[in-house]
Amino acid sequence: MTKIKIINTSEHALPSYETIASAGMDLRAVVAEPSTLKPLQRAIVKTGLFIELPIGFEAQVRPRSGLAAKKGITVLNAPGTIDADYRGEIGVILVNLSNEEFTIENGERIAQLVIAKHERAVWETVEELSETSRGAGGFGSTGVK
């Protein structure tokens, strides 16, 4: 288990895993008063959370499946990446992809936060790449025909 430093300026509990096998923790909206997202409108919703990740880790902000399926609300840049050197407040870019208005209430669960290790790549410039059975096929090339 990795310890992550966190400052919580909201009145809400810290994000936590709902089950032993959960990958993500719910992020909650911090709004002074309810705000409405009209269809196709987007907004940055603050969480009151500030984190300090160790180098080699990122925090991924992902949509909540229930909110997306039931209300058409999703994270616009999913997954949003929080880098280890970012110290600002976590904000979630929400977009309303439904045909109905959606009201964001204070404390509403608006996204998930997944903590993940990552690698840093070093480019190696070459003249050719190894052959594979897939080759250059992309965008559905491995699906059923």
User: pLDDT per residue over 89-125, tens digit each?
Assistant: 999 999 999 999 999 999 999 999 999 999 999 999 9
Statement: the pTM of the whole predicted model exceeds 0.85: yes
Q: Which residues, 6 or more positions from 26, have their beta carbon under 8 angstroms from its beta carbon?
A: 15, 16, 18, 64, 109, 111, 112, 113
Structural contact between residues 53 and 59, judged by C-beta atoms closer than 8 angstroms: yes
AA letter at 3: K
| Closest to 113 measured CA to CA, from 41, 76, 62, 73 | 62
The full set of domains in the chain, from first to last, is: 5-117 (2.70.40.10)
Cross-strand bridge partners of residue 7: 50
Mean pLDDT score, 42-69: 97
144 pLDDT exceeds 70? no
Please work out, in degrees rounded to the nearest 5, the angle formed at the alpha carbon of residue 144 by the alpha carbons of 133 and 68. Answer: 110
Out of 22-26, 50-54, 67-71, 129-133, which region has the weakest mean confidence (pLDDT)? Answer: 129-133
Rounded to the nearest 5 degrees, what angle is found at the Cα of 29, between the Cα atoms of 90 and 100? 120
Q: What is the pLDDT of residue 138?
A: 77
Q: What's the alpha-carbon Rg for the chain, to the nearest Å?
A: 19
Helix, strand counts (H, E) of the chain: 1, 11
| Phi–psi pair at 70, nearest 5 degrees | -85, -35
Q: Please state, as a whole number, how many other Cβ atoms lie within 10 Å of the Cβ of residue 127.
A: 4
Tokens of 96: 């309303």
